[in-house]
Amino acid sequence: MGIKQIEKHIYDHDYLGTVDTNGAIKQVWGEEALNQSLKHWLASFRGDIIRDPNKGGFLTPLLAKPMNLINQDNLKMAIKDGLYQDYKPYLAIQKLEVKAENEGRYWYIYLEVYSKDLKVSTVVEEKIKARV
């Protein structure tokens, strides 16, 4: 995704555009950078990634489908496949939960990942609105 790697460290620019005391856009490092990248990746559409239009968008086609157990499994597989294809060095999924919250019409996603190469782990919890 949008994170950069320098000698086993990862960083990104704060997606909210927060500026520091010098007026520069804040940089986030390590776990915070990985967490931000994963949140952005989960909500991305195919073609959202600058300079690589084939990345991202693994979940968005499934959000327009019924909220049932079949699509719950499809979302899990899409997350696993997408992380494998889009993230280098690879991220090991330590825990992945996808649940349909039918009352609120959203998918609850809990994702724990670890990068052995970067020695960084993070937990992402997101509610992504279904489009049906």
Segment 79-106, tens digit of pLDDT: 999 999 888 878 999 999 999 999 999 9
Instruction: Give the model's pLDDT for residue 4.
Output: 54
Question: Could you state, in order of their start, the residue ranges of all structural domains in the chain?
Answer: 4-129
In this prediction the pTM is: 0.82
Task: Name the nearest CA neighbour of 36 among 127, 124, 128.
Answer: 124
Residue ranges, the chain, pLDDT below 70:
1-8, 49-51
- The CATH code of the domain at 4-129 is 3.10.450.40
pLDDT at 74: 97
Give residue 112's pLDDT.
97
